[in-house]
Chains A and B, each alone.
Chain A
Amino acid sequence: MADQIESELLRGSLDLMVLSVLAQSPKYGYLLQKALSDNSQQQIKLSAGTMYPLLHRLEEAGLVSSRWDETTGRRRKWYELTAKGRKKLVKQAELWQQYASCITRLLNEIQLVVPASASAPAPAPQS
């Protein structure tokens, strides 16, 4: 896979990723962005322009809650997982695992076949 996971794949799972990082501890936007990047070995870079609307949407859905806090020396908006959010995370994660393992199986199965048909008629062009 490329250095960064393709955006198409990312889109379907953004909620799940944000929820899972918030499950570790409350975070403000910038910190969350960093944590996501660190936890994924820099494979996931969530742009600020995507993250903030996403956070607001999750808050709207009651999955995270926010509050302004200055105890860290700066006034920042901290986000925290709610009980509902935690429940959702567990459920989504389970489903995701299930789905991912199925796709993996599927891809493995198909790989057995692909070389036979792909090698002869359409060899990958070398640049």
Chain B
Amino acid sequence: MSEREFEHYLTLLGSMLRLRPEQRAEIAEELQQHLDERLVDLQAEGLSRDDAIQQALAEFGDAAGLAAQFSSVSRRRYRRWMMRAATASVTSAFMVLVMFVSFWPTGGRIQLAPPMTAQDTPPTEPEKTAGLQDPNDPFANSPPMLHSAIPASGNSPSRETRNARTRQSLEERLAPSMVGGSISSLADQLSQVVEYGCLIDRRRLEEAGIDPESGEFNWSIENSSLATMLEISLEELQLTYQIRDGILVITTQEVAEQELSLVIYQADFVFDSVVVSPEYSAEPIIRQLAELGQVGMGSGPGAGGPTAGMDLGLLQQSIETFVKNHGPSEEQIRFSEVANLIMTQVEPDSWEKNGGTATISCVGKKLVVRQTERTHRKIRKLLDDLGASNGAITP
């Protein structure tokens, strides 16, 4: 064994850090310094060189765990950056958004705001391919979503509007019945119906060994939406669809999972329906403690009143202050409830939290979700259903 062990450890750690190369190098240097000094001290304490190396490394814990901790610092930084960007430099953009939203009626139902849906499929940078570069790295790329969420001014409809229109027509239009068509004839037929046309991602299909002229589509079910037909028929061939600039693109499931679409959902109702107790109260805890005391007092001989002389008010106040300062804010509670609801109900394994690639975050009461087109559809349904149930209750 030699000092190479340190090097191996640091290299391993570095490879798992989802950070910029300079950041990685800096962390490695800092830890290397620490290990060197620790080694000298441990040897001075009488350990053999080998044992000292072993122990110094053991004190750091396993590389994977450490890498995850460092990376999570970076993710937090990203999130904070986003919040700052949202509140300061992009304030004007948000003003535009807010104005936009106000054109849509907001009743008791969940409103999905079509003009705010934005698709972000960076063609050059599929997310998390090598796993080395963190797509969340604030320095690697400026986050595209805020920019893409800004409705473009001008005469031609923005990309977001085009995407939203295509999504809408997939839901509203009925699927034509088809007998024995190939993938490419399916695309041709869809081009007639979808405003911005339909394309086949030929290169990706070929890479996956799928011939666009193959496939036998038979669809004779009446009154089903285009989206449902697409989902079911393409699934059989391990294919799926994306929407890019309003264009419906037939591609492989793998590609769709790498190039996620970003959609912003206006979800006021869902956020509002989370019940957050208005003020944390320490009272139940204290009552319980007091009861605990009562029990002891009752069974023991001659015990004094447990609450006598105890400043309950101060205790209660102190616990409440502590929770207020250290506990999650109301917004955090609301968001985590909503996010948990969606992540448990819709494709649990696809989310970053569970080892997938999809992400969910929020700005105010808007949900910012990066997912596949198919899963977006499920989220939309879930939110619609939630809104509908609300509509049934309120007069």
A interface residues with partner B (beta carbon < 8 Å): 28-30, 47-50, 52-53, 56-57, 60, 74-77, 95, 98-99, 102, 105-106, 109-110, 112-117, 120
- Taking A57-B73, A116-B301 as given, write out 17 further A-B residue pairs in contact, using a Cβ cutoff of 8 Å, ordered by the A residue number: A47-B60, A49-B60, A49-B66, A49-B69, A50-B61, A52-B27, A53-B66, A53-B72, A53-B73, A56-B27, A60-B77, A75-B33, A99-B318, A106-B289, A110-B289, A110-B306, A116-B303
Q: What is the CA–CA distance of A98 and B295 in the complex, to the nearest angstrom?
A: 28
Among B246-254, B319-327, B380-388, the one that faces the other chain is: B319-327
* Complex contacts, A114 vs chain B, CB 8 Å: 296
Is B37's CB under 8 angstroms from A47's CB? no
In chain B, positions 293-345 with a C-beta closer than 8 Å to chain A are 293, 295-297, 299-301, 303-304, 306-307, 309-311, 314-315, 318-319, 321-322, 325
B147 at the interface (CB under 8 A from A): no
B70 at the interface (CB under 8 A from A): yes
Main secondary structure on chain B at its contact with chain A? helix
* Complex contacts, B292 vs chain A, CB 8 Å: 110, 113
A98-B321, A99-B318 known; A116 and B296 CB under 8 Å?
Answer: yes
Is A115's CB under 8 angstroms from B315's CB? no
* Complex contacts, B287 vs chain A, CB 8 Å: none
Is A95's CB under 8 angstroms from B59's CB? no
Chain B minimum-CB-distance residue to A49: B61
* Complex contacts, B83 vs chain A, CB 8 Å: none
Q: What is the CA–CA distance of A56 and B304 in the complex, to the nearest angstrom?
A: 51
A47-B60, A60-B73, A106-B289 known; A112 and B318 CB under 8 Å?
Answer: no
Q: What is the CA–CA distance of A38 and B65 in the complex, to the nearest angstrom?
A: 27
Q: How far is the CB of B102 from chain A (nearest CB, A)?
A: 36
Is B293's CB under 8 angstroms from A109's CB? yes
Q: What is the CA–CA distance of A115 and B38 in the complex, to the nearest angstrom?
A: 47
Give the tally of cross-chain contacts (CB within 8 A): 102
A30-B37, A52-B30, A112-B303 known; A102 and B296 CB under 8 Å?
Answer: no
B interface residues with partner A (beta carbon < 8 Å): 26-27, 29-31, 33-34, 37-38, 59-61, 65-66, 69-70, 72-73, 76-77, 80, 289, 292-293, 295-297, 299-301, 303-304, 306-307, 309-311, 314-315, 318-319, 321-322, 325
Pick from A48, A74, A95, A110: contact of B293, CB under 8 Å: A110
Q: How far is the CB of A60 from chain B (nearest CB, A)?
A: 5
Is B306's CB under 8 angstroms from A109's CB? yes
A60-B73, A116-B303 known; A102 and B30 CB under 8 Å?
Answer: no
Chain A minimum-CB-distance residue to B316: A102
Instruction: List 14 A-B residue pairs with CB atoms under 8 Å apart, sorted by A's residue number.
Output: A30-B38, A56-B73, A60-B76, A75-B33, A99-B319, A105-B315, A106-B315, A109-B309, A110-B292, A112-B306, A113-B297, A116-B296, A117-B299, A117-B300
A98-B318, A106-B315 known; A77 and B60 CB under 8 Å?
Answer: no
Q: What is the CA–CA distance of A56 and B17 in the complex, to the nearest angstrom?
A: 14
Q: How far is the CB of A116 from chain B (nearest CB, A)?
A: 2
Is A117's CB under 8 angstroms from B315's CB? no
Q: What is the CA–CA distance of A1 and B183 in the complex, to the nearest angstrom?
A: 72
Q: What is the CA–CA distance of A74 and B40 in the complex, to the nearest angstrom?
A: 14
Chain A minimum-CB-distance residue to B303: A116
* Complex contacts, B37 vs chain A, CB 8 Å: 30
* Complex contacts, B30 vs chain A, CB 8 Å: 29, 52, 77
